[in-house]
Structure 1
Amino acid sequence: MNDDVKRLRTPQRPPFDAELAEALTQVRDEMPVTVTSSGIGAIRERAARTTASVEELAAEYGVAVRIVTATRHGGPNLRLLVARPPTPTSGALYWIHGGGGVLGDFRFGIDPALTWAAEFGVTVVSVDYRLAPEHRDPVAIEDCYAGLCWLASNARTLQVDPTGIIVGGHSAGAGLAAGTALLARDRGGPRAHGQLLLCPMLDDREQTVSSRLLAGEGVWDRTANRTAWAARLGARRGGPTVSAYSAPARAGDLGGLPPAFLDVGSVDTFRDETVEYASRIWSDGGEAELHVWPGAYHCFEIVAPAATLSTAAVRCRAGWLRRRLEAS
């Protein structure tokens, strides 16, 4: 088969894991597959109805939760959620929530981080960055960087070691975490002790096979991805002027970054950009641990938490985090 035919051939989707496929049918009406600009409002309303309150989170995970504010340039004060376990260690997890950059707040999807707070005694700080399309790039990444600076500056007050901060997130939050690490490196800001990048949203250009693979199936298909990037970047999406801090796959140099953990499903829109990002960290002399979960779609561990692949993924994430915290 010649190269031209290979390029024209329609890529085939890998099969879903059987357990995950069954779980997906049960939540099909609750999990967004395709998101359009006109549908962002409805998805936000649904997320707001299902996201636990601060009081509920504190009670469920046995942590003390408070809201603090930090000054940010060019906007209102930045809100951060601080969760302290009963017996805190000196480690901290700076958490950036997912939602495509268009929905959620500092409580959205924070459950894994609070589980680790209870398990490892790590203090969790979650940032309430501003959302698109009301606030376009670079607002979100600047908010995330400002939150990291606040945490580093207030580490001693929080009884946290400023050299033991892990930057992490899920989906769009993981992409913003990667961008925050890049921004901190290039500005000489706080250096994180690690990057926990769970199914990260890294590339606006839609050039990979997996970015075009899913149409109306799985979770977070190509239309949803286009919608979110367009909301964040406007007409610049896919063009030459997008910053690598907002779309870290564009970075020319991934050297000098904190050690990273990356994972993604083999049937995730973000599969190829995640694998490529890890490969480029290695090629630039960095440290990365990569897992590609066979037959897994975006958010599989949320849709089917009891599935074999989900429990394996959660165990791997926790193991890496524990090792990084112990190494600080």
Structure 2
Amino acid sequence: MKASTTPLALALCVCSVLGDAPSTSGTEWKKTQLLDDFTGTPGSLPSSSNWIIQTGTSYPGGPAQWGTGEVETYTSSTNIRLFDSGHLWIVPQRSSSGAWTSGRIESRRNDFAAPAGGKLRVEARIKMPDVTGSNGLGYWPAFWLVGGAFRGNYSNWPAVGEIDIMENINGQDTITEVLHCDVNPGGACNEPSGLGHQGTCTGSRCPGNFHIYEVVLDRTTSPEQLKFWLDRKLQYTITETQLGSTKWANTLHRGFYVVLNVAMGGAYPNAIAGFTTPTANTVPGVQMSIDYVAVWTTS
């Protein structure tokens, strides 16, 4: 649902940049649950074996405008396609009448989970839309996970759990990483804001450049931990202690599905801008490019 409806109330970061993320070249990440590098015929759609393309302005019977107030209509046409040598493009477009369209894909599997005593790792290499200032108002690219039980229900958010691995608002040179849980408003995750952290990319600007966005759910430690990584550097940690064991288990001891989309406008971009977005100055046609998406678990 990705329903950040107010400016993000950032929780205290438990960890800072402390080291590199685990390498897949070792023995820890033995089970590949999903690996898609989007190779295929340019102009075609991503693999239907891996992905569901959502269309319209809501789930069937779900809240209007995807529950967030975003203004675009998702399509399976020119808004989403494979491009060049192994990239998926999601491209917001604006019609001559001012109507916005964009793209949203979700993993067909909705059972990506950390095994008891093990770990779940989800990452993607993404170049966010290269927009800034007034021409980026309303852009809302995101890479996130939703609890699998949300499919077919659409009324159990945020208890179903949501992990926002990367959100970018209005072309700003920042990302947010957020956990949503429990009840709305309030609850263990301070909804609708969630427990979150705001970070910046190093080496190059976040929008317009490829960076690696990643989350690891670690059930090998006590208390268990949810760790967010950016370009292999640890950014933010949420622990089981912060939610309490019961709410932690209800939120994170479950299967998830992956979502990649570029929303336009909505409550979150509007709140950050202080007015309604997108505007007449917002530039259409600037893509989010995804190099790969991968999901691993330990044995």
Q: TM-score, normalised by structure 2?
A: 0.31
Q: Which has the higher contact order (CA 8 A, sep 6+)?
A: 2
Q: If the length of structure 1 is used for normalisation, what is the TM-score?
A: 0.29
Normalized per residue, the structure richer in helix is 1
> Between Structure 1 and Structure 2, whose CA radius of gyration is higher?
1
